[in-house]
Amino acid sequence: MQPLLINTFTTTTALGRGLTDTLSALRAQRSGLQARSWETVDLPTCLGEVDGLDAINLRADMQAFDCRNNRLAQLALEQDGFMQSVQTAAEHYGRQRIGVFLGSSTSGILSSEQAYRQRDPVSGALPASHSYRHTHNMFSVADFVRHYADLQGPACVVSTACSSSAKVFGIAQRMIGCGLIDAAVVGGVDSLCLTTVYGFNSLQLISNRPCMPFDAQRDGISIGEGAAFILLERADQAQTDDLLLSGVGESSDAHHMSSPHPEGRGARLAMQAALDMAGLQPQTIGYINLHGTATPSNDAVEDLGVTAVFGTNTPCSSTKGHTGHTLGAAGSVEAVICALALRHDFLPGGVGTRTPDPRLHCNYLLTNQEQAITHALSNSFGFGGSNCSLLFSRKRA
């Protein structure tokens, strides 16, 4: 593939608003996970909540979209000059030539959960104020972003659980490669809701403490929320030190609805496909941001896949101990973390992990490393065996 230029990027998670907060928390190895009261959750667990979301007011002309998910989207869009970059691109390319491709696992489902408490006692009807189309509908967040930024190109939302907002990079790559668009806003938005907290709890996948990826005592995930946006465009004029999307690898396990293939076959295929698309050898990769959910089986399977492709020397870590598992937003949040690693010559050590599992053999970082790298890989592996690996590069002189 022809690499794509990463024009601008931003993320907002439990670590804070925008890149400065995120980088500061990564450097300090600070976790955003806390045992805290949220909504009606009555479980012993820790959450990665974005502070202040309930106080966010949507722009006056966007009130129909009001829900937690779209408030998070607006908050993130306004960080790091992202909206200004989108408007500059729109003036350059034309508003019809910019696509919007986003990932989300549950969209604004919390709005429907809350509306169900207000059903008409006789008819059971939801309150008239509840707008499913603008909040809960899976397309809602792309519809919101498209209108918020006044863009008129193609738009869609991918919902393949934890790989959702990684797979959108592939859509942008194909659409730009075919000449259908010149630039794309990609990313992911997923906010806290009762469905995911209680759903993962029913699967016995939630830890009652901050998650511990790749630790010998890991016992499940911590749910987080987050949003990330990246503006991609052709890299014809890329300059030294610019950041690039250089490879996208996708695969399907075709094995089980919720469990990964026990030998990590699908994960391995996705990583190798990203390398092949970029024309890179495994030894050139300087850092891998693992999917690293902290469930016993997922981490073991990912370790098999990583060591099969890269051996045991490539530095890697999971940043879900920092942010929690942001589900449909995780692919893009962790893509932004890879971009920060490339820009700042910095490899984040995993938070929450105390004693790496001796049965796992990848080179898991417990502490930060200051190290110049040229290529970084980000893994996202979702329910149903939906896998996506993204390769990012820094253009060197």
Do the beta carbons of residue 206 and residue 223 sit within 8 Å?
yes
Judging by beta carbons within 10 Å of its beta carbon (0-12, 13-18, 19+), is residue 158 exposed, middle or buried?
A: buried
Using CA atoms, how far apart are residues 268 and 387, in angstroms rounded to an integer?
9
Q: Is the Cα dihedral 75, 80, 84, 88 positive or negative?
A: negative
For residue 254, the SS3 value is: coil
Nearest Cα neighbor of 182 from 93, 246, 73, 272 is 93
Which of 46, 67, 162, 193 is flagged as catalytic? 162
Which of 325, 362, 375, 388 is flagged as catalytic? 325
Instruction: Judge whether 361 counts as a catalytic residue.
Output: no
Q: Is the Cα dihedral 132, 135, 139, 142 positive or negative?
A: positive
Which of 130, 136, 261, 291 is flagged as catalytic? 291
Instruction: Judge whether 291 counts as a catalytic residue.
Output: yes
Task: Please list the helix, strand and coil fractions of the chain in percent, rounded to the nearest 5, in that order.
Answer: 35, 20, 40
- Determine if residue 189 is left, alpha or beta; phi over 0 gives left, psi from -120 to 50 gives alpha, anything else beta: beta
Beta bridge partners of 211: none
- The residue to which tokens 């929320």 are assigned: 225
Task: Retrieve residue 20's tokens.
Answer: 């400065």
Using CA atoms, how far apart are residues 284 and 272, in angstroms rounded to an integer?
13
Instruction: Judge whether 362 counts as a catalytic residue.
Output: no
Catalytic sites, residue numbers? 162, 291, 325
